[in-house]
Amino acid sequence: MLTQGDATLLVMDGRLALEHLHHAEFSRDRAFSELRSMGVQHLGEVRRAWLEPSGRVSLLLYQKPRSGLWLLPEQNETFNQHIAVDGCFACGHCGYVVNSEQQPDPHAVLLLGQRAWRPAVKRLGVERIYHPHSEGASTRGG
């Protein structure tokens, strides 16, 4: 298990570290929720994320985001078309990104036993993410 001190690695290079989430008993949905509450729109923004011993999540973000899996709780096909990066798809389970002009075969690279491909994004075009449990909104620059 990759740890730094007592911190548990949650995201590495834009992908969920699912084996570490499992060992920490930290669900994928909870990881997405924590990242959204910190203003993260998609996994391509995150170089590293750690679960600290205190239960808080720490982030190291890329200066220039890469393509990644969006973290919004619902999906909308019309919205997908406006934000998708041409020729990039992300695994809906872990965020693994592949370059492909067509949606990859779901059995193409089964690293985790399952794949549900979604269009990868770089920028959602959303300036603020509102979270009901935070004080105010998390503002992101354009």
CATH topology (fold) of 8-61: CRO Repressor (3.30.240)
**CA count, 13 A, side-chain hemisphere, 40:** 30
From first to last of its 142 residues, the chain has per-residue pLDDT tens of 454 558 999 999 999 999 999 888 999 999 999 999 999 989 999 999 999 998 899 999 999 989 999 887 666 555 655 566 678 888 888 999 988 777 776 666 555 555 678 888 886 555 544 444 444 444 444 3
What is the reported pLDDT for 86?
73
Task: Output the pTM of the full model.
Answer: 0.74
Measured from the Cβ of residue 35, the count of other Cβ atoms closer than 10 Å reads: 23
122 within 8 A of 67, measured Cβ to Cβ:
yes
Please state the domain extents for the chain.
Answer: 8-61, 77-121
What is the reported pLDDT for 5?
59
